[in-house]
Structure 1
């Protein structure tokens, strides 16, 4: 079990803005940072509704990959190493207080690589790592979808769920989405993780009960491989739903994350309301 989060932190230096990070709810009571990494084709905006569910003690930081939303004109990363280096540069100034990492699908591999890159730099490690919707790096099944045509990519998005048919039927939106998806699939499908010592933080594996990528049955085998990547405890939690169970089960997922960070965070009733959050 990790040490409790300190109730107070010393005055913090100013934080430089970065095109890689989106921060929505920092306040004077903040004592913990939750850094969230998106899925392939995803953006920081995927996590924005979580801000409404965060207690005052937790700042939500989401990573914005290039080539989407307000970063459409920014060139994409050449590979996983370049991506993780850029993310580490952006988040390292934010690590003056305890933090945890949450990654969904491709984001779980990015989170794992990020934890190791930060450790290599001498930065403090995460208190916990939440790996959602994907088997552990080195064990996840990969293919060559990034080399296939748009119809194949659309079929893959349909298999996983989470992308409406109306969006894919709009030529302009379809082009934007598939460009980001293809780029990210190339990164994750060409990712060949190096052998490294295990992390020392607990790893929490989250999945949807009907997720074709990481269903509960696969999780029973060494937690989808994640149990081999830490010397601490590994825990599995399945939620009803498919690969994008996080959207309909948002409140349950956030509550589970907060409970694992610190039980008092999930019982304080400090979450704010955010009307009309999609």
Structure 2
């Protein structure tokens, strides 16, 4: 996906995807035991690898990780991002769903995740493919369901952008507005064509928004 993004982003943007444990080149590493462990891992990567002005974008569960990483950077007195982009989720202080997904049986889990759009459609069309992704999905839901948001004493100092897919079953209009609670500067909301995975389905509009955001910092 990010290779397709690169072809449509302005040349001044250097895309740096952060790989999480259990995915991609880190697929041999065990899944995170907790949400906090994932936050610490991302924080360490940013702290050791990112130089100069930067922004953070998080989608779905990644939006909550991005928020907590921002506050860890603030707490540790590190260089803060110039912009935060939260995508495909409500703010973490919103009331959680009562359903606990990560303990469901195999078939109930598959049907439940399919219903809420918790993975790309092609994952559900082939049961063998779903069996490959199931441990990762369960781990992600376990992290989310065990995550306990704590109120923050500071707002996010930089500008924020909130993005969602118009057809995302998981994210309501009120969920988008919920992010403004954390805004200490400008907060813009974009509804783009697509479902929960609009960042894969609608790369043209997504990259257009990103280019628009960061072009303003180049003036």
Structure with greater Cα Rg: 1
Counterpart position of 1:240: 193
Asked if 2 retains the 8 angstrom alpha-carbon contact of 1:161 and 1:242, the reply is no
- The structural deviation recorded for 1:71 is 2.2
SS at match of 2:70: helix
CA-CA distance at 1:240 after TM superposition: 1.7
Q: How far does residue 161 in structure 1 lie from its aligned partner after superposition?
A: 6.5
> Contact between 1:202 and 1:233, CA under 8 Å: does it hold in 2?
yes
Q: How many residues align?
A: 215
d(CA) in 2 for partners of 1:179, 1:74: 13
Give a deviation string over 1:76-105, Cα, whole Å, max 9, x none.
111111111011111112332111111111
> Match of 1:106?
61
Given the alignment of the two structures, is residue 213 of structure 1 paired with residue 170 of structure 2, yes or no? yes
Structure 2: segments with no counterpart, 5+ residues: none
Which of the residues 87, 92, 102 maps onto 2:47? 92
How far apart are the structure 1 equivalents of 2:190 and 2:29? 36
Are the equivalent residues in 2 in contact too, given 1:138–1:192 (CA < 8 A)? Answer: no
TM-score normalized by the length of structure 1: 0.71
Deviation at 1:210, TM superposition (A): 1.6
SS of the residue corresponding to residue 129 of structure 1 reads strand
Map of 1:61 onto structure 2: 16
Which digits, 9 at most, give the CA deviation of each residue in 1:238-277, with x for residues without a partner?
A: 0122111222211111110121122487xxxxxxxxxxxx
Residue 156 of structure 2: aligned partner: 199
Structure 1 runs, 4 residues or longer, greater than 6 Å off = none
Corresponding residue SS for 1:238? strand
Aligned counterpart, 2:28: 73
Asked if 1:260 is matched to 2:216, the reply is no
1:106-156 Cα shifts (integer Å, max 9, x gaps): 010011011111112211111111111100012153331011122233223
- The 3 A distance-change label for structure 1 pair 251 and 264 is farther
TM-score of the pair, normalised by structure 2: 0.89
Match of 2:179 among 210, 223, 226: 226
Aligned Cα RMSD in Å? 2.0
| Structure 2 CA distance for aligned equivalents of residues 161 and 137 of structure 1 | 17
